[in-house]
Amino acid sequence: MYTIAENTDYKELTYLFYDNGLEITPGIERPSNVVKCWSCRNSINQDLIGGASLEMRNGHFVVADVAVNIEFRQKKIGTRLMNLIEEEIIKRGGNEAWLVAKAPDLYIKLGWEVVTREQAPDISKCFSCIKYGKECNPQILHKRF
């Protein structure tokens, strides 16, 4: 059993994101553009097993990070985190959101659509990275609510 709640320890989350392969500096302070983030904890021992963060970048809602520790994957925790993010965007009056993902399948299953770089606003550091489109090919995804 696990519980998902608003996160109050961003630093702890950065280690989870980093350990699950996301591009983040572990231990950084919560950036000011983080709108909200969530922690998923093991209900028995309160261990952190997953998390997600929603940011505002250049005036756009962006799903910044979503991760679930490997031994807890395929149990719909990622889906629940995404559902909470989408509910939050709608609650805040948003009608669309963006994300950049190396593994887009989860998001496509949740109704997100792959778009081209030209269709997306400037919402990711990936776009100016020298590896982008060469050795690293993340997909840009968009969803309208």
Which listed range, 24-32, 65-73, 86-94, 119-127, lies at the site for ligand COA (CB under 6 A)? 65-73
Which listed range, 54-62, 74-82, 83-91, 126-134, lies at the site for ligand COA (CB under 6 A)? 74-82
Rule CB under 6 A: which of 7-36 touch ligand COA?
20-22
Q: Does 123 bind ligand COA (CB under 6 A)?
A: no
Q: Does 106 bind ligand COA (CB under 6 A)?
A: yes
Shortest Å, Cβ 121 to ligand COA: 19
Q: Which amino acid is at 92?
A: R
Which listed range, 41-49, 88-96, 105-113, 123-131, lies at the site for ligand COA (CB under 6 A)? 105-113
C-alpha atoms less than 13 angstroms from C-alpha of 14 in its C-beta half-sphere: 12
Backbone angles phi, psi at 54, to 5 degrees: -115, 130
Shortest Å, Cβ 71 to ligand COA: 10
Q: Does 141 bind ligand COA (CB under 6 A)?
A: no
76: left (phi over 0), alpha (psi -120 to 50) or beta: left
Q: What DSSP string runs through 48-115?
A: EEEEEEEEEETTEEEEEEEEE-GGGTTSSHHHHHHHHHHHHHHHTT--EEEEEES--HHHHHTT-EEE
> Binders of ligand COA: how many residues, by CB under 6 A?
19
- In this structure, what token pair is assigned to residue 104? 């887009």
d(CA 123, CA 87): 20
**Contact residues for ligand COA (CB under 6 A)?**
20-22, 66-68, 73-79, 101-103, 105-106, 109
